[in-house]
Amino acid sequence: MVYLDLLLVGFGRVGRRFTELLEEQSVRLRGEYDLSWRVVGIATRRHGTAYDARGLDLVKARRLAGAGASLASLTGAESGRTIAAEASGLALIRHATAESAARRMPQLVVVETTTLDVERGQPATDHVMAALRGGAHVVTANKGPVAFAYREIASAAGVARRRFLFEGTVMDGAPLFSLVRETLPGVRVLGFRGILNATTNYVLTAMEEGRSFERALSDMQEAGIAEADASLDIDGWDAAAKTAAIANVLMRGSVTPRGIERTGIRDISSKRVLDAVSRGRRVRLVASAEWVDDRLAGRVAPVELDEADPLARLAGLQNEVVLKTDLLGPIGILQLDGGLAQTAYALLADLVTIAKGLSRGETSAAPPLR
């Protein structure tokens, strides 16, 4: 049996849904993957921090966080609380990694789901680096670390002989990074084109049906799919961060979201969307990257697509990436239904990857992707 202790840094919509999925799938994880887990710590920004090496009550944690209350009452005096309820995520990671090493506890996995920061990818990158240096594995749905510091993190993971996995950062649960890592040996990704942001795709297709930009956006906010700050979706930052992530991980690039040429959909009018439809075309927010000479050119922009273009067919929450490869030609990965459940699944899948590696006796981290 592989035992893993989980430390949740960020406990918002994704973090909470992930814990529900873990509980729902506990029997399957034990039966099929010999994986047993417990959550030993949770850090938030404004709702406190909780740590108990014997495991936390997740039903209570979700109830407290859902009600906007502090997590402090999760750890009573009898738990031997050793970290202040107001400690930061970074302090909790340092505390938990030190405890884990000193008390020979099960291997620790830090699950990073804090808010996306498109300026610097922080503090998520610091969280990831501290976790790896402290001997923990990391799984994350936060695009910041892969979009800003993939090389540095991959190298730290190699030195620490720990895994850094991030399937949930792009296309929710659809296996993009693991597909290339596990099933495309020897293949080089030369470029890609895709629709990567569900919120803007939903808004644009709702406008084709005569609904307003504002109403469609508020649907996405209510569903918990838009970023906490929806301007990150509307102004193309989320898609730019995903473009940087794909370029860095799959195309050996070294770009940040700021290096991606970016236009969002804020200024797209219903008239423009409906005009395009009347001419048999579709406006979509298209993300792409390719090598031009020695420069990686990444771009996010609203583009009018011919109806025959596979990306033009995507409606609502659907996402697709078409990778241009040297040995296979173009291959597409299509996600018909994305959202919180699928992002939570990506974290779960990454956790299973770690457990499978441990049960095979792997002690080293996999090398960075090409």
Ligand X SMILES: NC(=O)c1ccc[n+]([C@@H]2O[C@H](COP(=O)([O-])OP(=O)(O)OC[C@H]3O[C@@H](n4cnc5c(N)ncnc54)[C@H](OP(=O)(O)O)[C@@H]3O)[C@@H](O)[C@H]2O)c1
Is 224 among the residues that bind ligand X (CB under 6 A)? yes
x/- contact string, 175-194, with ligand X (CB under 6 A)? --------------------
CB of 114 to ligand X, least distance (A): 4
Is 11 among the residues that bind ligand X (CB under 6 A)? yes
Is 202 among the residues that bind ligand X (CB under 6 A)? no
Question: Token digits for 151?
Answer: 């090389």
Q: Which of 2, 5, 29, 47 binds ligand X (CB under 6 A)?
A: 47
Residue with the CB atom nearest ligand X in the bound state = 12
Is 120 among the residues that bind ligand X (CB under 6 A)? no
Contacts with 95 (C-beta within 8 Å, 6 or more apart), sequence order: 41, 51, 82, 83, 87
x/- contact string, 159-178, with ligand X (CB under 6 A)? ---------x---x------
CB of 131 to ligand X, least distance (A): 13
Q: Is the CB of 166 or the CB of 192 nearer to ligand X? A: 166
Q: Is the CB of 143 or the CB of 163 nearer to ligand X? A: 143
**Please, which of residues 287-306 interact with ligand X by CB under 6 A?**
none
x/- contact string, 124-153, with ligand X (CB under 6 A)? -----------------xxx----------
CB of 338 to ligand X, least distance (A): 8
Of 56-64, 221-229, 318-326, 358-366, the window that binds ligand X (rule: CB under 6 A) is 221-229
Is 199 among the residues that bind ligand X (CB under 6 A)? no
Is 200 among the residues that bind ligand X (CB under 6 A)? no
Q: Is the CB of 99 or the CB of 112 nearer to ligand X? A: 112
Let me know if 242 is a catalytic residue.
yes
Q: Is the CB of 2 or the CB of 146 nearer to ligand X? A: 146
Of 12-20, 146-154, 209-217, 307-315, the window that binds ligand X (rule: CB under 6 A) is 12-20
Task: Burial-class residue 295 by CB neighbours within 10 Å (0-12, 13-18, 19+).
Answer: exposed
Is 45 among the residues that bind ligand X (CB under 6 A)? yes
**Separation between Cα atoms, residue 18 and residue 26, nearest integer Å:** 12
Q: Residues touching ligand X: how many (CB under 6 A)?
A: 30
Q: What is the 3-state secondary structure (H, E, C) of the chain?
A: CEEEEEEEECCCHHHHHHHHHHHHCHHHHHHHHCEEEEEEEEECCCCCEEECCCCCCHHHHHHHHHCCCCHHHHCCHHHCCCCCCCCCHHHHHHHHHHHHHHCCCCEEEEEECCCCCCCCCCCHHHHHHHHHHCCCEEEECCHHHHHHHHHHHHHHHHHHCCCEECHHHCCCCCCCHHHHHHHCCCCCEEEEEEECCHHHHHHHHHHHCCCCHHHHHHHHHHCCCCCCCCHHHHCCHHHHHHHHHHHHHHCCCCCCHHHCEECCCCCCCHHHHHHHHHCCEEEEEEEEEEEECCEEEEEEEEEEEECCCHHHHCCCCCEEEEEEECCCEEEEEEECCCCHHHHHHHHHHHHHHHHHHHHCCCCCCCCCCC
Which of 242, 271, 324, 356 is catalytic? The answer is 242
Is 272 among the residues that bind ligand X (CB under 6 A)? no
**Separation between Cα atoms, residue 193 and residue 324, nearest integer Å:** 8
Q: Which of 97, 114, 318, 353 binds ligand X (CB under 6 A)?
A: 114
Q: Is the CB of 47 or the CB of 282 nearer to ligand X? A: 47
Q: Which of 7, 22, 37, 44 binds ligand X (CB under 6 A)?
A: 44
x/- contact string, 322-361, with ligand X (CB under 6 A)? -----------------xx--x------------------
Please provide residue 194's backbone torsions phi and psi, each rounded to the nearest 5 degrees.
-170, 175
Is 89 among the residues that bind ligand X (CB under 6 A)? yes
Residue from 125, 133, 175 nearest 150 by CA? 125
**Separation between Cα atoms, residue 142 and residue 309, nearest integer Å:** 30
List, by residue number, the catalytic residues.
242
- Contact residues: ligand X, CB under 6 A: 9-15, 43-47, 89, 113-116, 123, 141-143, 168, 172, 224-225, 227-228, 339-340, 343
